[in-house]
Structure formats: C-alpha cells, structure tokens
Structure 1
Amino acid sequence: MTAWRLRADGLDLSVKVQPRAKRPSLGGLSPDGAALRVAVAEVPEDGRANRAVCEAVAKALGLAKSAVELLHGGASRQKVLRVTGDPAALVSRLEKLLA
C-alpha cells in the first residue's frame, strides 16, 4: 500500500497530520505505509494547520504553494492532498524524501 495514487495531472497524497508540533517536519511514512506523516507547528483552528500542511508538502517537493491543495479531511488528522505536476517527477521526489 502506498501513500499516493497517481493521476494524469499529478497525484493524490494521503497524509497523517500532527498539529502543534515542536518541530515541523515530514516524518516518513506511517507504520502501515498508507500515509505520509507531516508535523506542523500551527494549531488546528480556522484552517491554519491545513494551510501549513499544504505549504510544507509543497516546499518539500519544490513546488509552488498553489500546486498543493486539500482534497479531503479538513477536520481530521487523516487528509488527502491533491498535488499537481508531472506524476513521475513527483513520485521520484517523494521517494527521495522517504529514503
């Protein structure tokens, strides 16, 4: 099971979010491999943590902030993000991050 699903215009990325983290980071895959762990310092109020997650993923992948958007899970720690770009390049960048 992978944390992403390829699309023609990019990929859908499953993430598990830890808000209010002391150190924001991308922490690898969840134990079952179904989600990318993302820690953000923002609190989960008024969508601040959601925006921080999108920005963190965009920065880690070397993309513009507008290339990552929240698809599902706005009020949950389990979220699905839509990442726009070349699918092969995105998968390559993700695999480098996780290595």
Structure 2
Amino acid sequence: MTAWSVTPDGLQLFIRLTPRGGRDGLDGVETLSDGRQVLKARVRAAPSEGEANAALIALLARLLGTPRSTIVLKAGASARLKCFLARGDAGVLLVKLKVHLPGV
C-alpha cells in the first residue's frame, strides 16, 4: 500500500506526524513494520488542542497549492498516524506532492 491513493474526490494521504519537529515539512516516505507506507511529516506546533493537526493542514495546503478548506482530516485526530483527503484533481495534486518528496 502506498502513502497515497487516488479517490473520486481527490488524493487520500496517509501520514505519520511528528509534532514539535523543529520545522514544518515532509521528510519522505516511510514503510511501517506492517508493510504500509506513510508520508513522514513534521511540524513545529505542539500536539495539544489540535495545533499540530492545524499546522499539518496548513503545510499540506501550501505544498499542494490549495486552500486549507480543501484538506480534510479523515482519521487519526489524536494519533500519530493520520489519514487526510486533499480535494481536487488527484493527478495535479499528486504531481505537486511529488515535487516536495525527496527521492520519489
């Protein structure tokens, strides 16, 4: 399973978030022990009161060139592993995402 999948609504992203990571950014793709792949992301924000999730939504919106309102947290609000949906043309979004991923 890859770290993203194309859906009729857009691009679904599976992310492992590190809050208080020192900077906001994507660090590539990681394979978990169960074989799933996730995007590794880090944000400066703390994990309290949804601040880290909000920072990650802002980061994804900036990287994908879309408004924040098009990025929806689907699962994992209080977990490190999260699932997001980026609404829009999945092909365009995937091209924009890959530009920001080292080695992909």
Give the alignment's TM-score, normalised by structure 1.
Answer: 0.92
1:88 maps to 2:73: no
State the AA in 1 paired with 2:9: D
Q: Which runs of 4+ in 1 moved over 3 A?
A: none
Aligned position for 1:76: 79
Q: Which runs of 5+ in 2 are unaligned?
A: none
Q: Percent identity, aligned pairs only?
A: 33
SS of equivalent residue, structure 1 residue 46: helix
Q: Per-residue deviation at 1:65?
A: 0.8
Instruction: Give the equivalent residue in structure 1 for 2:56.
Output: 53
What are the residue-to-residue correspondences of 1:4-83 with 2, within 5 Å?
4-32=4-32, 34-83=37-86
Q: Whole-Å Cα distance in 2 between the matches of residues 3 and 80 of structure 1? A: 10
2-structure distance, mates of 1:6, 1:96: 17
Q: Verify: 1:97 aligned to 2:87, yes or no.
A: no
Please report how far the alpha carbon of residue 96 of structure 1 lies from its aligned counterpart in structure 2 after TM superposition. Answer: 2.1
Aligned length: 99
What is the rounded CA distance, in whole Å, between the counterparts of 1:72 and 1:22 in structure 2?
24
Residues in 2 aligned to 1:4 and 1:30: alpha-carbon distance in whole angstroms = 12
RMSD: 1.3
